[in-house]
Structure 1
Amino acid sequence: MARTSPPSLRIFDSLTKEKTIFSKADPDGKAVTWYTCGPTVYDEPHLGHARSAVSLDILRRVMRDYFGFKVRFVMNVTDVDDKIVLRGRYQYLGTRLQKEIESMERDKAVREAISVGRAAFKHYLSNHLPLLSSETTAKAYLVEANRAYADVVEGEPTDQNAKLKMHIKTCQSAAQALDALEKVPNDSPLSDFFYGAKDVLYPYLDHLYGSTVDSRDHSIFTAVARKFEKRYFDDMHALNVLDPDVTTRATEFIPKMVTYIERIIAKGFAYPTADGSVYFDIAAFEAEGHPYPRLEPGSRNNSALRADGEGSLANKSAIKRHDVDFALWKASRPGEPTWPSPWSKAGGRPGWHIECSVMASEVLGSEIDIHSGGEDLRFPHHDNELAQSTAYWSTKEKPAPWVNHFIHTGHLGIQGLKMSKSLKNFVTISEALERPEWTSRSLRICFLLGGWHEKIEVTQDILKAGAAWESRINNFFINAIDIMRASDGLTTESSSSLEETPAFTSLDKAKADLHEALCDSFDTPAAMRIIANFVGECNTTQLSRVAVLSASRWITRIVTIFGLNREGEDAVLGQNGDDDGSGQLQASALHSQIIAWHGAEIPHAAQQPVYAASKLRDDVRQYVLSARGDIDYAALEKLAEHIDTDLRQMANANADPYQATASRFHTDIQHVASEKASAGEILSLCDDFRDIHLYSLDIYLEDREGLPALVRPLDTPLKRALAEKRAAAAAEVAAKTKRKAEEAAKQSARDNQAKINPAELFKNELYSEWDEQGIPTRDAKGDEITKNSRKKLVKMYEKQQKVHREWLDKCERE
């Protein structure tokens, strides 16, 4: 990675819709300022959050650890938002109701719970499932819903259908909880009812009592935000996502937001309204020559997106000067948190977009190098941020760009739809990481295999592709350890003497190709192919220790930069980034870095006995296979002699499980040699040593044609792969056994049929008279057999005559 000039990094910029040369506010230095829109913390983090956070983490690591920029990464946490406000009220009102009811005498509590549950169920049906009568009972709900919404349930996945399916599912859960309480009021726990019906109870309670919640008690709302903020960061740590250098929270910047808005008003780009809200004036902004919107010009008149951005003020368009104007400050309604403001005695709260403008400006100033987020934030959120920040910072003498580059990550799709909390079609990060095939590393590999700004569908195919890539890297590292294990450092070969060898030429090309890929807007799919192809070449080439060290060092560093080698980061990323392949790396140091990648290793106590026993096994297998049945058992016994001395010198040989296993295998080989066992028995003993004895010690021998067996630590992915391989082999054996049994049954049936003398073939209740050959002349009723029927019977007779004759001949031969 030695370079004499700065890299020509190009970034796909959402502002220009094309790749542009990376420019920054610090043209002579390496400092880069970066602001990203973080989570709105009102629910469990899901894989959609993982997609954006992990992809941005990869880009950040590449900027910092590959290109060497000093990145200052700032992320906000939106902790005051319509969804958080609503969730806070829901939790507060729901908890209050549950405590009130559970404090009552049991019969009264059940009656009250059923009454509230029925009213809430009716309210939810009226608002979300209009094709159903609001009088539909919990007991009849499922049948009625499937009848009324059959087209939705069975239809193609669309956003509209997904929302209806969500409402159908929500009502189904509530109906089941309510029906259970109605059926067995004395045995059904009230806690089960409240949990199952909460998603219909909460909106109903908020409809009745939401406006009565104390708007000055911010803890009702911040408790929700703090809870899910912690969940978010816990999940980010599980995904090996770096913490932000600075984390900002909206509620900590409220006074700054008020001051910021006042300046925009003073410059003529915003106006207060009678209700205490403040709106950004798009017409005044455009009159000064500023275009709007810049990121998504075609979405300007998309009322649905604008309404989503306005939240609780979406139905107040009448008080705005223009439909496209957006809220900088919202007049708080009853039941919503409020902060002091100069525009209303009742106070208010910030608009969604102003939060990020103020926090980014306060921490990073008037010019930010990179602003990022998910692609759904382009409009209206980032377009509105850009407009109000430009209005704040720009002057006629000095127009301010505010952001040099906007980058947006693509969505994570599930069944063709965007993963979304509002659609409740999401898989939480914690749920995903509980699945054996969705590890932190496997998810990151999947995201690396897709473009960071493109949509990714998590499918079995992409998971398999990611597993195949990881397996290829694993095999390379295991091979590297195997080659290096005999040496603590470099041999007398110098790297300079090998620089022109194919291995070093391939490494230089891989480095150059990967550098070009990363300069090309962080093209990680191309980078992953380059790494995989290079590793493939290494896996099929006999490499010296020097070549292995150089290749391993480079691959280890790149996968660590990508965030795939969590445990090795301190050691690997502490090295000099300008790796020209000439560094005198010690094999033992690199070995520890590779172990950090692999997450498993052969215990030190196991290495001497296991490698010795593995060599004996290789020698025995090679000898038996080459002997072709003509085994010299004295020669076989002699093969075991070389390990005997080593095992005797090991301390506590019978106490250590590895030494004991190796000694037992040595004894077994001597025994089968003395008993003159068959080749099959000897090879079976070798297989048992691999598949049973070492497997139980979490060690696996991978047999390789023409090479010694590879000694591997038995980690979870390998166990899973071996289990799948064995299951497939067992299924194949079972299928073969079944086919043999079916064929045997068919042959038995054919033999039984062939035994029948043709004269007896038709002697049954279907016929009443036969000729001298035994062919029927009359049926069971006494009617004469027709000519056509007789022709068929004659053919059957002649066929039976043939097979019966063959059977008799076979019996005579046997």
Structure 2
Amino acid sequence: MAAVQPEWHSPPATSEKLPKLSIYNSLTRTKTPFHPRDPSGEKVSWYACGPTVYDDAHLGHARNYVSTDIIRRIMEDYFKFKVNFVMNTTDVDDKIILAARQQHLLSKWLVKYKEANQEVRDTTKKAYEAYVGKNLPLLIEDGAGSAPAPEGFEDAVTKLYGHVLAGKSLANDASPPGDKEAKVKMHLNTARSAASALATTAGDLDTFATKATGVLLPYIDSLEKHTVNGKDHEIFTKLTKKYEQRFFDDMSALNVRYPDKLTRVTEYGPQIVEFVKQIEANGFAYDHEGSVYYDTTAWESSGGVYARLEPWNRNDKDLLADGEGSLAVKATSFKRSNADFALWKASKEGEPSWDSPWGEGRPGWHIECSAMASDVLGKQIDIHSGGIDLAFPHHDNELAQSEAFWAKCGKDSEQWVNYFLHMGHLSIQGSKMSKSLKNFTTIREALAKGDWTPRGLRIVFLLGAWRDGLEITGEVVKAGVAWEEKVNNLFLKVRDLQRTSSQTSGTNGIIESKSNLDDNLATAKQKVHDALCDSFDTPTVMRIISELITAYNTEKNVPESTSLAIGQWITDIVVMFGLDSEYKAGQMGWSGVDIPEKAKAFIYPLSKLRDSVREQAKAGTVNAKALVESEDVPATEDASCQPYAKAFSDFKQSVVDLNAKDSAAKDYLAICDRLRDVSLWDLGIYLEDRDSQGLPALVRPLSQSLRQERHDREAIAASKAAAKAKAQADKEAADKERLEKGKQSHLEMFKTAEFSDWDADGLPTKDAQGNEVAKSRSKKLKKDWERQKKAHEAWLATQK
């Protein structure tokens, strides 16, 4: 029966105080006004699909959960909704079962051996051949009928999959590569590693097993999975508990808020059974050989709708098979519709199981979220979120089965979820980042390497719309770094103004008057509000902040109150966005724009002393004694403060030493530069001179951009120096060659077999045959003779 898209039922506006917020809703595929179900308009129920915990979270997960966190923070901290945020962790599904069981069985198998003996190698060879046969068919179809010998693996791959490795499509046509090609590369890497292990003769078991694990896992599993007891859930939860903890550790590192309520599938076995029983009792499910299937035909016949989110995908065989997991490989002729999906799966050997009216089994993929969300949040939910890949079949199936649970007839059913929010994917070279494709960089790896910081990653996500796909490119990274540096510089200036103002209890010379920036700030606030009301349009917010900072940087004589107001407002926005996990109430700007607290007692007075030395040196007279006595080095016994104290005392001593030598002003300026560019630079601190603005040096921590600027300058200088050295070397080589040529006397240069007679100067008069040398040739020979005469005389001069 063809699905008819029903009219979306907008919840009534329950409060006049509600913001005019509209959200892009996947149910309507448009922006729709947001009205929570709560009569007061304050409370919002939100269910988010959490991770499948069998491996470390990667940057693709970061894209989903950080973007979700940004929206949650806007809802809670900006619009002041009281959000009840519920999330699950999927700790039992086909991927988890397979991963946990395979690791358990391989560990049991390996413990029987102490080295990579012949038995281990023979088994691994069979595993390698099975893996290649299943996943890399071109290597088998080449005519050999079996996997290439490990020693010949690379040659076979180059011949048959070289086009894929070169970035072309699997079909070797003009179509762009995508997930299929990424999967082939993954399988090639796994098989290559095993082939490398088999091609070596070393007997170390750990090294061998590490390389061969990828092929051994599925092979040992195929031999031993019948030995696993389905009631022994610890085999499976041991893996999921580990990776659930690691997931939330990663989320904490990214400043993602913990859910208000966390649910786990393994803790909901009985509730899920009851949920399925109710759907069956309502007439929208049927069982087959211990499995229970949702009856889409019965649901639609009763007036319900299936595939509301992505109706165009309801007959997509690949997506339907992905949603069914291991059941997809079974004959499905018994299904009443191809769209029917499993609510409960009969257990097979090696799988965890729970008791049910239909026999030993386990939950289907989609039913878990419906049962848990309904249990915690009830009959209707305001917001449901997840990655865009979950829209169909997962969320469409959730909708259908949940509404079938709560209603005995489709036409009388109520809308289970009012707003679906789907986050865009993060992709690499056109392919979605995925655990199954193994083309991911884990969050902890990216942070540990320094490729990303939590703030930098969040900024990149904020610069893009939450529901759009995002591909990490050099331009994207550059834009994020530039935005962060721009905000950094503003916070540095405003903090410095705040610090100096508090010290002098004045305006620091800034004229307090009406500024155009006051109007700019008011306009920016309104525009940001409008952007956030427009489906959380963070790219526009980021642009508004950037434009306001540009206006601030170009304005002269900005009133102190205006500067502080701009700094405070931008602080409020970036903190609301979650860009500072270490923010402390009352703090101006975000963390990381200040030098270490323990350094301040030394560096601020040191910078002040340096400013005075520079000012007097430029004026032509340095009163070293008065300067040195004006600033004392604070006493300290803290070893961590010693480097700062030493920089201070060393600089004072340099001033004293120059004074004793009656040094010139340029010498004082030189030690000031050395303090900035060497001593403090090595301590991670930079003094930004602001002479042209009539301001003291700005004390700031070293940023990546400052380091890069210096690196670029040094690289350019090194390149110029190298070019100059090369030119000098080339000149010296040419001069040397020229001198070497002058070694021969001009009197002897033509005394060869080519001629038979010469004059007193050694110039030829007759050729080899005794004929007179022609006048025209004599002229040419004379010129060559004169050049050699000069060269020889030059050579003789060097010999003296």
- TM-score, length-scaled by structure 1: 0.84
Query: One-letter code of the match for 1:699?
Result: I
Instruction: Note closer, same or farther for the CA distance 1:799–1:512 as it changes in structure 2 (3 Å cut).
Output: farther
User: Are residue 81 (structure 1) and residue 93 (structure 2) matched?
Assistant: yes
Query: One-letter code of the match for 2:118?
Result: R
Name whichever of 720-729 and 208-217 sits farther off. 720-729
CA distance in structure 1 between the partners assigned to 2:731 and 2:323 by the alignment = 74
Could you say which residue in structure 2 is the equivalent of 1:586? none
Instruction: Note closer, same or farther for the CA distance 1:154–1:57 as it changes in structure 2 (3 Å cut).
Output: same
User: Are residue 620 (structure 1) and residue 613 (structure 2) matched?
Assistant: yes
CA distance in structure 1 between the partners assigned to 2:98 and 2:439 by the alignment = 20
**Do 1:775 and 1:794's aligned partners in 2 also have CA atoms closer than 8 Å?**
no
1:171 to 191, 212, 218: 191
Query: One-letter code of the match for 1:618?
Result: D
**Do 1:32 and 1:72's aligned partners in 2 also have CA atoms closer than 8 Å?**
yes
Name whichever of 388-397 and 48-57 sits farther off. 388-397
Could you say which residue in structure 2 is the equivalent of 1:131? 138
CA distance in structure 2 between the partners assigned to 1:784 and 1:349 by the alignment = 113
* Deviation, structure 1 residue 601: 3.0
For the aligned residue pairs, the C-alpha RMSD in angstroms reads 3.7
Query: One-letter code of the match for 1:290?
Result: G
* Deviation, structure 1 residue 409: 0.5
Counterpart mapping for 1:241-256 below 5 A: 241-256=256-271
1:51 to 59, 63, 71: 63
Could you list the runs of 5+ residues in structure 1 that have no partner in the other structure?
Answer: 573-588
* Deviation, structure 1 residue 482: 1.3
The 3-state SS of whatever aligns with 1:34 is strand
1:551 to 566, 570, 588: 566
**Do 1:390 and 1:400's aligned partners in 2 also have CA atoms closer than 8 Å?**
yes
Query: One-letter code of the match for 2:195?
Result: A
CA distance in structure 1 between the partners assigned to 2:768 and 2:228 by the alignment = 92
Counterpart mapping for 1:115-514 below 5 A: 115-133=122-140, 134-156=146-168, 157-180=177-200, 183-184=201-202, 188-273=203-288, 275-316=289-330, 317-344=332-359, 347-394=360-407, 398-488=412-502, 500-514=514-528
* Deviation, structure 1 residue 679: 4.2
Could you say which residue in structure 2 is the equivalent of 1:581? none
* Deviation, structure 1 residue 404: 0.7
Give a deviation string over 1:31-84, Cα, whole Å, max 9, x none.
Answer: 000001001111111111111010000100010001100000000111110011
The 3-state SS of whatever aligns with 2:41 is coil
* Deviation, structure 1 residue 783: 13
The 3-state SS of whatever aligns with 1:352 is coil
Counterpart mapping for 1:370-769 below 5 A: 370-394=383-407, 398-488=412-502, 500-541=514-555, 542-568=557-583, 571-572=584-585, 589-590=586-587, 593-594=588-589, 597-598=591-592, 600-603=594-597, 606-607=600-601, 609-625=602-618, 631=620, 635-637=621-623, 641-642=626-627, 644-647=629-632, 657=642, 658=644, 661-707=647-693, 708-714=695-701, 718=703, 720-748=704-732, 768-769=754-755
Query: One-letter code of the match for 1:428?
Result: T
The 3-state SS of whatever aligns with 1:149 is helix
Query: One-letter code of the match for 1:326?
Result: F
* Deviation, structure 1 residue 673: 4.1
The 3-state SS of whatever aligns with 1:314 is helix
The 3-state SS of whatever aligns with 1:369 is strand
The 3-state SS of whatever aligns with 2:418 is strand
The 3-state SS of whatever aligns with 1:35 is strand
CA distance in structure 1 between the partners assigned to 2:660 and 2:594 by the alignment = 38
Query: One-letter code of the match for 2:385?
Result: S
Query: One-letter code of the match for 1:174?
Result: A
Query: One-letter code of the match for 1:534?
Result: L
Name whichever of 375-384 and 118-127 sits farther off. 118-127
Give a deviation string over 1:217-254, Cα, whole Å, max 9, x none.
Answer: 11111212112111111111111111000001112112
**Do 2:68 and 2:423's aligned partners in 1 also have CA atoms closer than 8 Å?**
yes
**Do 1:766 and 1:780's aligned partners in 2 also have CA atoms closer than 8 Å?**
no
**Do 1:449 and 1:466's aligned partners in 2 also have CA atoms closer than 8 Å?**
yes
The 3-state SS of whatever aligns with 1:636 is coil
The 3-state SS of whatever aligns with 1:340 is coil
**Do 2:750 and 2:763's aligned partners in 1 also have CA atoms closer than 8 Å?**
no
Could you say which residue in structure 1 is the equivalent of 2:6? none
Instruction: Note closer, same or farther for the CA distance 1:64–1:114 as it changes in structure 2 (3 Å cut).
Output: same
Give a deviation string over 1:282-308, Cα, whole Å, max 9, x none.
Answer: 112222232321111111111000000
User: Are residue 22 (structure 1) and residue 37 (structure 2) matched?
Assistant: no
Instruction: Note closer, same or farther for the CA distance 1:641–1:126 as it changes in structure 2 (3 Å cut).
Output: same
Query: One-letter code of the match for 2:610?
Result: R
CA distance in structure 2 between the partners assigned to 1:693 and 1:729 by the alignment = 19
* Deviation, structure 1 residue 354: 0.8
**Do 1:768 and 1:778's aligned partners in 2 also have CA atoms closer than 8 Å?**
no
Name whichever of 86-95 and 666-675 sits farther off. 666-675
Could you say which residue in structure 1 is the equivalent of 2:10? none
Query: One-letter code of the match for 2:517?
Result: A
Name whichever of 325-334 and 501-510 sits farther off. 501-510
* Deviation, structure 1 residue 147: 2.3
* Deviation, structure 1 residue 371: 0.5
CA distance in structure 2 between the partners assigned to 1:644 and 1:491 by the alignment = 24
* Deviation, structure 1 residue 491: 5.6
* Deviation, structure 1 residue 279: 1.1
1:110 to 113, 117, 123: 117
Name whichever of 522-531 and 315-324 sits farther off. 315-324
Could you say which residue in structure 1 is the equivalent of 2:174? none
Instruction: Note closer, same or farther for the CA distance 1:319–1:673 as it changes in structure 2 (3 Å cut).
Output: same
The 3-state SS of whatever aligns with 2:686 is strand
Instruction: Note closer, same or farther for the CA distance 1:170–1:605 as it changes in structure 2 (3 Å cut).
Output: closer
CA distance in structure 1 between the partners assigned to 2:782 and 2:394 by the alignment = 83
The 3-state SS of whatever aligns with 1:647 is coil
Query: One-letter code of the match for 2:388?
Result: E
Name whichever of 774-783 and 89-98 sits farther off. 774-783
**Do 2:514 and 2:559's aligned partners in 1 also have CA atoms closer than 8 Å?**
no
The 3-state SS of whatever aligns with 1:512 is helix
**Do 1:339 and 1:348's aligned partners in 2 also have CA atoms closer than 8 Å?**
yes
Could you list the runs of 5+ residues in structure 2 that have no partner in the other structure?
Answer: 1-14, 141-145, 169-176
**Do 1:409 and 1:452's aligned partners in 2 also have CA atoms closer than 8 Å?**
yes
CA distance in structure 2 between the partners assigned to 1:684 and 1:162 by the alignment = 56
